[in-house]
Amino acid sequence: MKKKRIVSGVRATGGLHLGNYIGAIKNWTEMATQHGDADFLFFIADLHAITTPYDEKALKDNTREIAAAYIAAGVDVRKMILFPQSAVPGHAMLQWLLTSLTPMGWLNRMTQFKEKAGKQRDNAVLGLYAYPVLQAADVLLYQATHVPVGEDQKQHIELARDIAGAFNRRYGQEFFTLPEPIIRKEGARIMSLRDGTKKMSKSDESDYSRINLMDDADTIALKFRKAKTDSDPLPDSFEALKDRPEAANLVTIYATLADMDRDAVVKQFAGRNFSVFKPALAELTAEKFTPVATRMRELLSDKAELDRQLAEGAERARAIAVPVLDDTMKLMGFWGTNPFHSADRVAGLL
* Residues contacting 286, CB < 8 A, separation 6+: 216, 217, 220, 221
- Residue 10 CB, shortest distance to ligand ATP, in Å, is 4
Would you say 273 and 281 are in contact if contact means Cβ atoms under 8 Å apart?
Answer: no
With CA atoms as reference, report the closest residue to 159 among 198, 100, 103: 103
Pick from 231, 258, 271: nearest CA to 247? 231
| Cα 302 to Cα 64, 96, 145, 298, 306, distances in angstroms | 10, 36, 34, 7, 6
Q: In what order do the strands lie in the sheet with 39-45?
A: 81-84, 39-45, 5-11, 146-148, 180-182
13 binds ligand ATP (CB under 6 A): yes
Question: How many amino acids of this chain bind ligand ATP (CB under 6 A)?
Answer: 20
Return the residue nearest ligand ATP (CB atom): 23
Which residue, 57 or 78, has its beta carbon nearer to ligand ATP? 57
Choices 55-63, 187-195, 249-257, 300-308 (CB under 6 A): range interacting with ligand ATP = 187-195
Binding of ligand ATP at residue 160 (CB under 6 A)? no
Contact between 135 and ligand ATP per CB under 6 A = no
Residue 54 or 171: the one with the smaller Cβ distance to ligand ATP is 54
Stretch that binds ligand ATP, among 99-107, 125-133, 148-156, 236-244 (CB under 6 A): 148-156
Decide if 199 is catalytic.
yes
- Do residues 15 and 214 lie in contact, with contact meaning Cβ atoms separated by under 8 Å? yes
Q: Find the distance separating the first CA and the last CA of the chain, reported in whole Å.
A: 33
Question: Is residue 288 at the binding interface for ligand ATP, with CB under 6 A as the rule?
Answer: no
From the CB of 11, what's the least distance to ligand ATP, in Å? 3
Name the active-site residue from 4, 60, 116, 330.
Answer: 116
Q: Is 202 a catalytic site residue? A: yes
Chain residues in the site for ligand ATP (CB under 6 A): 10-11, 13, 19-20, 22-24, 149-150, 152-153, 188-190, 199-203
Catalytic positions, written as ranges: 116, 199, 202
